[in-house]
Structure 1
Amino acid sequence: MATYHEICFPEIPWRYLDMSHTGWQSIREQIHENPPDVAAFTVYTATAPWAFIVAAEIKLVNPGAVIVFGNDHAAILYEEVLTGRYGSRLVDFVGTGNNGPFTMMGLLYALSGDLEQERVPSLAYRRGGAVVHQDASAYPLNRRRMPDYSLISDQLVEHYDKAFKTWYAGHYDLQRMITMAIDGGCHWGESPRRRCKHCSIQGLTPKTAAIGETVSALEQAVGTLGANVYAAGDSTLGFSRGQWQGQFSLLDDLAEACAASPVLRDRRFMLAYGLVYEFLHSAKLCQGFVRTWNVGLEAFDPKLLKQNSKGINKGPDRIYEALELARDLDYRLYVSGILGLPGTDTAQLRSEVDNWLALAQQYQDIITTVSVAAPAIVPGSRMYWEAYNSSPEVRSWHGEILPSRKLTELYLRTNTEVRLADVEAALTDLGRGVIQMGEAGSGMKFGGYMLGGTDQEERQEQDLLDDLCRQL
Structure 2
Amino acid sequence: MLPALTVLIVQQGVWHMAKESMPLAAGYLAAVVRAHPELGSRCAVRILNFPGHLSPLEMAIKVLQAGVPDVIGFSVLGWNANQFAAVAATVKQVNPSAVVVFGGNHVAKQAARVLTRDPAVDIVVNGEGEVTFVNILKAVLDGGPYARVRGISFRGPDGSVVTTADEARVDDLDRIPSPILTGAVPLLDERGGFRYDVALMETNRGCPYHCAFCYWGGAVGQKVRSFSRVRLRAELEALARAGADTVVLCDANFGMLRQDAEFVDDLIEIRDRYGCPRALETSWAKNKSAVFRGIVRRMREAGMRSSFTLALQTLDDTALDLVNRRNMKINQWRDLAEWLTAEGLDCYAELIWGIPGETPETFLRGYDELAKHVSRIAAYPLLLLPNTDFSDRRAVHGFVTVRGRQDDFEYVLAARGVSLAQNLRMQRFLFWARLLAENLVLRDTWPVFDAVLGWSQSAVILSLADFVEAEAAHHAGARLLSAAATSSTADPDSLAPALAYCFSTEEFADLVDGWWRAAVGPATPREWREALREVLRYDLDTRPLPDPGPRALPDARLSSVDGEAHWTVARTYAFDVPALARAARARRHLDPPAAGPHHVHLRFKHGFADLVHSTNHEETAHYIGRAELPTCPPRSPEPDDRCGPVDRTRTAAPGPDG
So what's the TM-score if we normalise by structure 2?
A: 0.53
Tell whether the 8 Å contact from 1:304 to 1:341 is kept in structure 2 after alignment: yes
C-alpha contact 1:258 1:265 (8 A) present in aligned 2: no
Report how far residue 200 of structure 1 moved. Answer: 1.7
**1:380 aligned partner:** 387
Change (3 A) 1:392 1:226: closer
1 CA distance for matches of 2:234 and 2:187? 22
| Counterparts of 1:286 and 1:115, CA distance in 2 | 53
Q: 2-side partners of 1:123 and 1:285: how far apart?
A: 40
Counterpart among 99, 103, 122 of residue 92 in structure 1: 122
What is the correspondence of 1:284-303 to structure 2 with a 5 Å cutoff? 284-285=294-295, 287-288=297-298, 291-292=305-306, 293-303=308-318
Does the 8 A contact of 1:356 with 1:430 survive in 2? no
Kindly indicate whether the alpha-carbon contact (under 8 Å) linking 1:304 and 1:344 is maintained by their aligned counterparts in 2.
Answer: yes
Report sequence identity in percent: 16
CA distance in 2, matches of 1:222, 1:27: 31
User: SS where residue 414 of structure 1 aligns?
Assistant: coil
Give the 5 Å matches for 1:15-414: 15-33=47-65, 34-45=67-78, 47-82=80-115, 84=116, 86-87=117-118, 89-98=119-128, 100-113=129-142, 117=146, 119-129=148-158, 130=160, 131-140=162-171, 141-148=173-180, 150-153=183-186, 164=197, 177-187=198-208, 189=209, 195-201=210-216, 202-204=218-220, 205=222, 206-240=224-258, 250-255=259-264, 257-258=266-267, 263=273, 269-278=279-288, 281-285=291-295, 287-288=297-298, 291-292=305-306, 293-312=308-327, 318-329=332-343, 331-333=345-347, 335-355=349-369, 358-359=372-373, 361=375, 370-388=377-395, 404-405=409-410, 408-409=412-413, 412-414=414-416
Aligned residues: 401
Distance 1:37 1:328, change over 3 A: farther
Asked if structure 2 preserves the Cα contact closer than 8 Å seen for 1:73 and 1:379, the reply is yes
The counterpart of 2:434, out of the listed 407, 431, 434, is: 431
**Residues of 2 paired with 1:238 and 1:377: CA distance?**
27
User: Does the Cα contact within 8 Å between 2:253 and 2:286 map onto a contact in 1?
Assistant: no
Residues 288, 330 of structure 2: 8 Å contact kept: no
State the distance in 2 between where 1:303 and 1:128 align.
48
Decide whether the 8 Å contact of 1:255 with 1:286 is kept in 2. no
Can you give the 5+ residue segments of structure 1 that lack an aligned partner in the other structure?
165-176, 190-194, 241-249, 365-369, 449-472
Residue ranges of structure 2 left out of the alignment (5+ in a row): 1-28, 444-502, 504-539, 545-611, 618-658
Bigger shift: 324-333 or 124-133? Answer: 324-333
Change (3 A) 1:107 1:425: same
Asked if the contact 2:322/2:356 (under 8 Å) is kept, the reply is: yes
Spell out, residue by residue over 1:360-388, the C-alpha distance to the aligned partner (whole angstroms, 9 max, x if none): 54xx6xxxxx5321111111111111115
Output the aligned Cα RMSD: 3.8
